[in-house]
């Protein structure tokens, strides 16, 4: 039998929340290391503020999953929060020249594979809005517009491809679940047939012994 979708999603979100905490700590260490070099990638005040906000968001999601009531929209909220936090990091480390841009693809792939095409499109739209805000607030777009347009288009192409793969995977998983249920039913039917045949065999042996007497 297939598991409850809400329970499965809650388990996936719990795993993602633990990974989010690890990534926040890892990125903090990486930025601290990069700031020790010349020139620093981010001011100390901005680093502390961003780390505090990211840590509070990550711990808030953990607390919600542990003590709160799960809602199917929760997965979209966590994906949007991840995109927003990455956008703050990208904005603080050079905007269009930030080397943290590939983190967007990690959010896309991890959520798209888990939840399918709808989530992939949602992450792409959230990325589009957030990244355009990052670019427009950081620097004029006249010089970098073609390059950034290609990056956004590549992200959409990746989102559609991840959604396609996720849809195929979900279809195959449903087929496998159907096969498992069919095999379980056949086993139960075979077991019942064996039981009935044994009962008939014992009855026949009993009748034969009575006739011989």
Q: 114 lies in which domain range?
A: 5-170
> Phi/psi at 209 (nearest 5 deg)?
-70, -35
Percentage with pLDDT > 90 across the chain: 30
Mean pLDDT in the chain?
83
**CA–CA gap between residue 194 and residue 67 (Å, rounded):** 48
Q: Is the pLDDT of residue 205 over 70?
A: no
* pTM assigned to the model: 0.79
Q: Name every residue whose Cβ is closer than 8 Å to that of residue 155 and which is 6 or more positions away in sequence.
A: 104, 105, 108, 124, 127, 128
Among the listed residues 110, 81, 86, 114, the one whose alpha carbon sits nearest the alpha carbon of residue 100: 86
Asked if the structure places residue 138 within a domain, the reply is yes
User: How many domains, the chain?
Assistant: 1
Asked if the structure places residue 146 within a domain, the reply is yes
Asked if the structure places residue 201 within a domain, the reply is no
Asked if the structure places residue 131 within a domain, the reply is yes
Asked if the structure places residue 105 within a domain, the reply is yes
Alpha helices in 36-144 (DSSP H): 44-67, 74-92, 103-115, 117-138
Are 70 and 6 in contact by the 8 Å Cβ rule? The answer is yes
Asked if the structure places residue 176 within a domain, the reply is no
> Rounded mean pLDDT of 173-181?
73
**CA–CA gap between residue 105 and residue 72 (Å, rounded):** 23
pLDDT digits (tens, 9 = 90+) for 33-79: 888 877 888 888 888 899 899 989 999 999 998 888 888 889 999 99
Asked if the structure places residue 147 within a domain, the reply is yes
Q: Is the pLDDT of residue 121 over 70?
A: yes
Return the pLDDT at 2. Answer: 44
Return the pLDDT at 178. Answer: 72
pLDDT digits (tens, 9 = 90+) for 87-118: 999 998 888 888 899 999 999 999 998 888 89
Asked if the structure places residue 12 within a domain, the reply is yes
pLDDT digits (tens, 9 = 90+) for 129-174: 999 888 888 766 655 677 888 888 999 999 999 988 888 887 777 7
pLDDT digits (tens, 9 = 90+) for 66-89: 888 888 889 999 999 999 999 999
Return the pLDDT at 47. Answer: 87
């Amino acid at each position: 039998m297939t598991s409850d979708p809400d329970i499965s999603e809650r388990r996936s979100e719990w795993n993602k929340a633990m990974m989010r905490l690890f990534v926040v700590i890892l990125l903090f260490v990486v930025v601290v290391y990069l700031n020790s070099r010349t020139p620093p990638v981010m001011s100390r005040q901005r680093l502390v503020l961003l780390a505090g906000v990211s840590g509070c968001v990550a711990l808030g999601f953990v607390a919600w999953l542990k003590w709160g009531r799960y809602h199917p929209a929760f997965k979209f909220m966590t994906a949007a929060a991840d995109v927003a936090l990455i956008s703050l990091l990208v904005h603080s480390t050079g905007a269009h020249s930030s080397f943290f841009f590939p983190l967007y693809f990690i959010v896309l792939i991890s959520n798209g594979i888990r939840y399918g095409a709808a989530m992939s499109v949602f992450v792409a739209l959230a990325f589009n809005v957030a990244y355009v805000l990052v670019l427009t607030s950081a620097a004029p777009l006249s010089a970098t517009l073609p390059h950034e347009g290609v990056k956004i288009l590549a992200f959409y192409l990746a989102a559609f491809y991840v959604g396609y793969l996720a849809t195929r995977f979900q279809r195959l998983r449903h087929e496998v679940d159907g096969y498992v249920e069919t095999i379980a039913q056949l086993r139960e039917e075979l077991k019942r047939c064996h039981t009935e045949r044994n009962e008939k065999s014992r009855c026949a042996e009993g009748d034969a012994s009575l006739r011989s007497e």
